């Protein structure tokens, strides 16, 4: 059995960055963007490989070869590619394409890197009849049309877990897409952790763009957020943060184990605490278990903010400005902390369902946008003027008007003659 204090110390040092090796240098930023490939004629989500039809693998492979991407094997029977700047292009379980950018010392380089990978790839696949959608969930079809595309052990066992507990977890794995932003904890990890958890519902509401599933409105501005909330009761959500390390420790110990230790020979999905009390797990098993937790903000030695639906490439700077412009500018962080008094967990449902049509969420979202722009302007060299202008345009078009990109989709659905 691993002592609770050992697990707590592991979280403090390796997960929350509170150990003696904590980095206090200039902040960095990274991001992952996910894209859903669909047939341009039918709108159906397309597979990675197929004997007929329009699979993506041959097309991505050809594009990679033309553009100097280095192909290498993955653990899932399909390749992945290393970009010239160190980013990675890979597949998700439903065939979604993920671009994991390299970490950059400034947001401008990150935006350029993401667009430099996404836009040419999108154009290349469009020429072959496949569109890459930047939306939170595939809007046309149901999960029965999207089989598991990555038959590695991790995803096979996750599928078994999702089916056993009877949730929409397979939809989460195979049909959703997000933009996840990675940020340094810096010299005050707990202050930034509290900030990003407090911001999580507003990030969901501001960037919501998945109101349609199976071709019809769902009643949620971000149906992706609803799918994630329904995953199960033990591995999602956000935190009130009175004692972040202790709170996260309880969260992780209480979450059912998906990737059970092979030597234990068990298939039941008991909480990690039960496995630990039975003496069946090692510290490596604990660290593997942490990779199967999906909170709105995931600590990994840095923070991975996971609350935004996939973002259109035109607006990639907006979530970066919102999150880093506040967190990396001390006065903006302090001002935002005063705004975020409510428990974030209490706001998650309304943020995903109502988005910025909720007046209270909308008012705070506007204030956060203003703080982020002020913070971004005060970070010399981190954001370019064009990044800030792009974020300001997004906030003008959507946030300050109580709208998100989801409203464009709903407007087009209600008035198809004016869609475009």
**How many domains does the structure of the chain reveal?**
1
Distance CA(352)–CA(287), nearest Å, equals 30
User: Does residue 37 fall inside a structural domain?
Assistant: yes
User: Does residue 322 fall inside a structural domain?
Assistant: yes
Distances (CA, A) of 17 to 88, 108, 160: 24, 25, 33
User: Does residue 267 fall inside a structural domain?
Assistant: no
Q: Please report the pLDDT score of residue 103 as a whole number.
A: 97
β-sheet bridge partners, residue 181 = 31, 305
Task: State pTM to two decimals.
Answer: 0.94
User: Does residue 328 fall inside a structural domain?
Assistant: yes
User: Does residue 48 fall inside a structural domain?
Assistant: yes
User: Does residue 270 fall inside a structural domain?
Assistant: no
Q: Say which residue the tokens 């932003």 belong to.
A: 181
Average pLDDT per consecutive 10 residues, the chain (420 residues; last block may be shorter): 96 85 78 98 94 89 98 93 98 97 97 98 97 97 91 84 75 94 92 94 98 97 92 80 89 89 60 91 93 94 96 98 98 95 83 97 97 97 97 98 97 75
Q: Please report the pLDDT score of residue 229 as a whole number.
A: 84
50: CB partners within 8 A, 6+ apart: none
User: Quick one: tokens of 219?
Assistant: 């009643």
**Range list of β-strands (E), 284-369:** 297-299, 303-309
User: Does residue 277 fall inside a structural domain?
Assistant: no
Q: Is 95 left (phi over 0), alpha (psi -120 to 50) or beta?
A: left
Q: Please report the pLDDT score of residue 263 as a whole number.
A: 47
CATH, residue 62: 3.30.590.20
User: Does residue 245 fall inside a structural domain?
Assistant: yes
Single out the residue of 294, 288, 378 nearest to residue 331, CA to CA.
378
Tell me the residue range of the domain where 391 lies: 4-255+293-415
User: Quick one: tokens of 44?
Assistant: 């159906």
């Amino acid at each position: 059995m691993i002592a609770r204090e050992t697990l707590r110390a592991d979280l403090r040092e390796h997960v929350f960055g509170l150990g003696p090796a904590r980095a206090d240098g200039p902040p960095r930023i990274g991001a992952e963007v996910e894209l859903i490939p669909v047939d341009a004629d039918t709108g159906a989500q397309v597979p990675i490989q197929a004997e007929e039809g329009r699979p993506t693998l041959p097309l991505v492979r050809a594009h990679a070869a033309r553009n100097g991407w280095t192909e290498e094997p993955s653990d899932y029977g399909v390749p992945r590619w290393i970009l010239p700047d160190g980013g990675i292009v890979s597949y998700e379980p439903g065939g979604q394409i993920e671009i994991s950018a390299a970490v950059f010392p400034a947001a401008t380089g990150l935006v350029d890197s993401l667009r430099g990978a996404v836009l040419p790839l999108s154009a290349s696949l469009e020429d072959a009849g496949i569109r890459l959608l930047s939306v939170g969930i595939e809007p046309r079809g149901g999960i029965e049309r999207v089989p598991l595309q990555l038959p590695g052990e991790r995803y096979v066992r996750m599928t078994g877990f999702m089916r056993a507990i009877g949730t929409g977890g397979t939809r989460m794995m195979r049909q959703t897409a997000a933009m996840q932003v990675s940020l340094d904890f810096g010299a005050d990890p707990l202050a930034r952790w509290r900030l990003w958890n407090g911001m999580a519902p507003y990030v969901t509401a501001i960037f919501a763009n998945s109101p349609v599933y199976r071709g019809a409105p769902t009643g949620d501005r971000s149906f992706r957020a609803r799918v994630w909330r329904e995953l199960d009761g033990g591995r999602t959500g956000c935190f009130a943060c009175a004692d972040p390390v202790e709170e996260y420790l309880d969260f992780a110990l209480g979450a059912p184990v998906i990737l059970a230790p092979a030597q234990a020979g068990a298939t039941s999905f008991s909480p990690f605490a039960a496995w630990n009390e039975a003496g069946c797990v090692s510290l490596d098993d604990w660290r593997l278990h942490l990779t199967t937790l999906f909170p709105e903000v995931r600590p990994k030695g840095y923070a991975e903010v996971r609350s935004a639906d996939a973002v259109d490439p035109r607006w990639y700077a907006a979530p970066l400005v919102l999150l880093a412009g506040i967190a990396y500018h001390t006065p903006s962080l302090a001002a935002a902390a005063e705004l975020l008094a409510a428990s974030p967990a209490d706001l998650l449902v309304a943020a995903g369902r109502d988005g910025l049509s909720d007046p209270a969420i909308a008012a705070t979202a506007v204030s956060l946008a203003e703080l982020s722009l002020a913070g971004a302007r005060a970070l010399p060299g981190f954001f370019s003027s064009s990044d800030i202008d792009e974020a300001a345009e997004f906030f003008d078009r959507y946030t300050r008007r109580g709208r998100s990109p989801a409203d464009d989709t709903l407007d087009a659905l209600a008035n198809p003659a004016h869609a475009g």
